[in-house]
A and B are shown apart, each in its own frame.
Chain A
Amino acid sequence: MPAPRRPEPFPAAGEQHAPEPPPAGAEQRVPGPPLAGAEQRVSGPARARTRVVLAEVSRRQHRPGGARTELTQQTPVGEALIHGLVRAQLALALQLSAVVLVGLGGLPWLFAVAPSVGRMTVFGVNLPWLLLGVLSFPFLVAVGWTYVRLAERNEQDFTDLVQRPER
């Protein structure tokens, strides 16, 4: 059913219970979700200048779509989709923590059971000093860089899946 996808001026009927922000630019107080710390009031006569400071600011009106509707309406399909994303991101984070756990966390143990490693010198500097004092930092940055790249790829895959046109 290759229906032509046109922008719809109004949300579909089935979507009305989804949390929607008011039109952007509304300079008035908007009750947000239970976020007491972020919801702020301005005292005194400055009321007119109150702004919405909650996460809704970054949200936009969106057009209804297939998998997107599944997500926002929390159907079993949508649940499975987001569940898969969470699992993928968690697995990635755990894998990279394991790299750090072995690469850095193993060092005290290694130095303890094999003291000869600690006595080795490179360019006149003892190996533990070089590893901890200098090399650990680029190592951490490299792991972090890998994570950002792979996590963004996971999200891109998910976005592609959700935004794929309905067939």
Chain B
Amino acid sequence: MGNGLVVPAIVAVTLITVGIGFYGLRLARTTSDFLVASRVVSPTWNAAAIGGEYLSAASFLGVAGLVLKYGVDVLWYPVGFAAGYLALLLFVAAPLRRSGAFTLPDFCELRLGSRRLRTLATIFVIFIGWLYLVPQLQGAGLTLATLAGSPYPVGALVVAVVVTANVALGGMRAITFVQAFQYWLKLTALAVPAIFLALQWQADGRPAVTPPEGPTFRTATTVVVEHRAVLTLPDGQTREVRPGDELTFAAGEPVPEVSGVANSTTDWLLPSAAGSDDRGLFATYSLILATFLGTMGLPHVLVRFYTNPDGASARRTTLVVLALVGGFYLFPTIYGVLGRIYTPQLLVSGHTDAVVVLLPEAALGAGTTGRLLAALVAAGAFAAFLSTSSGLLTSVAGVISTDVLGHGSVRGFRLATLIAGGVPLILALNVSGLDVSQVVGLAFAVAASSFCPLLVLGIWWRGLTDAGAAAGILVGGGAAVAAVLLTVLGPPLTGWPATLTAQPAAWTVPLAFTVMIAASLATRRRAPADVSRTMLRLHGPDTLRL
């Protein structure tokens, strides 16, 4: 790819990120400054920062790629990613802020007074954090490889080093400014090209997204296959392709049907129907559960709530986040839909995650406009990798420095950052075959099956005990972790076992709630004696200052 503007755009984003990091470093002095921005962050900044931190590679690249590939059924990803903040708002935001807990392990100890539960929560925080970091680094590697032709490890390495250094040197105060800036950058980088794309589509005479004869190549195209698949050619022949195969198509030639992709117009355009596709329906509901309930259990999301001054402002911040994130998610769908027209070769190559970064040039041509917009999108994508990785790294490092290394000094936090950033980098460099959005979805499933029941029951039910909470996390969260490991590392499955492990939330979340409640009832005597005081602290209005 010969777009000379991409690398300067990415370098500019990186430099600005580091620059704001240093600006923040000059302000950060004590450990409290470092970790929670001294809680002087205004709600608007905070909401933009939460949004900036949350919109990851999966949102910026993955959603559009999934829409291109699977169609209407995966629109539940953006809906769920946004709705997670509603669940957070309804059940968690204000009480969690009033609890004064900075991390999930804090909440465990504060509510249930158990060191052992704290350790268990720490393990899950680190697991979820790393599970979420790996695809961010991979996305960076793939994007840079696609746009600048660099080898895969370069992008992952760049993001990992920049983020680790920035977090280690600047801490969260710097990160708040960085994140807020990155939200607006990401929104601009997706919205502006989307407008140009829509205009181009008009100018091209509104080509049909779902022509009756199926998608066709608009121009002569050479495709390099990246994932093993079976192609069904228009004449009914099948052909197995492997990574590295090169296929050439003439302009106007129909796109062959690819196994594992929603090719036919009906599959792509219409939701899965009962009877014919029960597994699809189960997967949809599983996805809804995971994304709606998983957000509240993501470690980097929770940390941010501590920077609100009180419970009421935490609630308002969450509402603003919901609006900001919802506004952002209007755009990826446009890319996925237009990708059907302008970049159908991605369906064949299997590299659908690249649709966002390739579409501007594919639709607008390699002229100045197309190249500028492509560079803008690339900058936005890098903003996504940098900001989400920063947030995750801050929270994982915070947990490691306080709970594993055992001292909360600035030096300890820096050491923890190196550990927290190094492990996922090594993982990302060694496993490149994972699908960005799928892994992120699995992280949501684990969070929904472990921390969601803990938070919801801990905040609203007096009867929760430490033994019950530990049992629920171990059984529900453990089942989700097992499903993740089986999906990522295990042999390829088909039929129901594949669905149950690839989208586990629909059975692991109810399991976690059931076990947590049953075990708490069985160990009723272990309920903390100060539960009334805790409830007062969690739910008492801020204005009373109880």
- Name A's B-contacting residues (CB within 8 A): 33-43, 46, 49-51, 53-55, 57-60, 62, 68, 71-72, 74, 78-79, 82-83, 85-86, 89-90, 93, 96-97, 100, 104-105, 108-109, 111-113, 115, 118-119, 126, 128-129, 132-134, 136-138, 140-141, 143-145, 147-148, 151-152, 155-156, 158-159, 162-163
Contact = CB atoms under 8 A, between A and B. Distances in A.
A36 B489 CA distance: 36
A147 B532 CA distance: 25
Given A43-B411, A138-B326, A53 B36 contact: yes
Contacts of A57: 39
B90 A155 contact: no
Given A51-B30, A82-B532, A141-B319, 10 more contacts: A46-B29, A55-B537, A68-B544, A72-B536, A100-B83, A108-B272, A132-B72, A133-B333, A137-B79, A137-B327
Nearest to A96: B90
A7 B149 CA distance: 73
Contacts of B60: none
A116 B72 CA distance: 15
Interface in B229-282: 269-274, 281
Nearest to B33: A51
B458 to A, nearest CB: 13
Contacts of B544: 68, 71, 159, 162-163
A122 B543 CA distance: 48
Contacts of B288: 104-105, 108
B326 A140 contact: yes
B526 interface: no
A33 B437 CA distance: 40
A53 B32 contact: yes
A140 B83 contact: yes
A71 B32 contact: no
A163 B532 CA distance: 20
B306 to A, nearest CB: 8
A85 B32 contact: no
Contacts of A156: 541
B90 A137 contact: no
Task: Tell me the interface secondary structure of chain B in the complex.
Answer: helix
Interface of B: 29-32, 35-36, 38-39, 72, 75-76, 78-79, 82-83, 85-87, 89-91, 94, 98-103, 105-106, 109-110, 113, 118, 269-274, 281, 284-285, 288, 306, 309-310, 312, 315-316, 318-319, 322-323, 326-327, 329-330, 333, 398-399, 402-403, 407-411, 460, 532-533, 535-537, 539-546
A152 B238 CA distance: 62
Contact of A108 (B271, B410, B535, B539): B271
Contact of A41 (B82, B310, B409): B409
A109 B282 CA distance: 10
A29 B58 CA distance: 43
A118 B271 contact: yes
A122 B74 CA distance: 20
A88 B341 CA distance: 51
A18 B330 CA distance: 50
A60 B545 contact: yes
A149 to B, nearest CB: 10
A145 B320 CA distance: 9
A37 B403 CA distance: 7
A42 B546 CA distance: 29
Contacts of B532: 74, 79, 82
A139 to B, nearest CB: 9
B101 A126 contact: no
Given A34-B109, A74-B536, A68 B546 contact: yes
B90 A147 contact: yes
B527 to A, nearest CB: 15
Given A41-B407, A133-B330, A140-B82, A82 B539 contact: yes
A20 B120 CA distance: 32
Nearest to B87: A97
A18 B541 CA distance: 18
B409 A38 contact: no
Given A74-B536, A104-B79, A58 B309 contact: yes
A112 B275 CA distance: 8
B72 A144 contact: no
Nearest to B90: A93
B322 A144 contact: yes
Name the residue in A36, A59, A79 with the highest tally of chain B Cβ atoms < 10 Å from its Cβ: A36
A74 B113 CA distance: 19
Contacts of B90: 93, 96-97, 144, 147
Contacts of A33: 100, 110
B316 A58 contact: no
Nearest to B406: A36
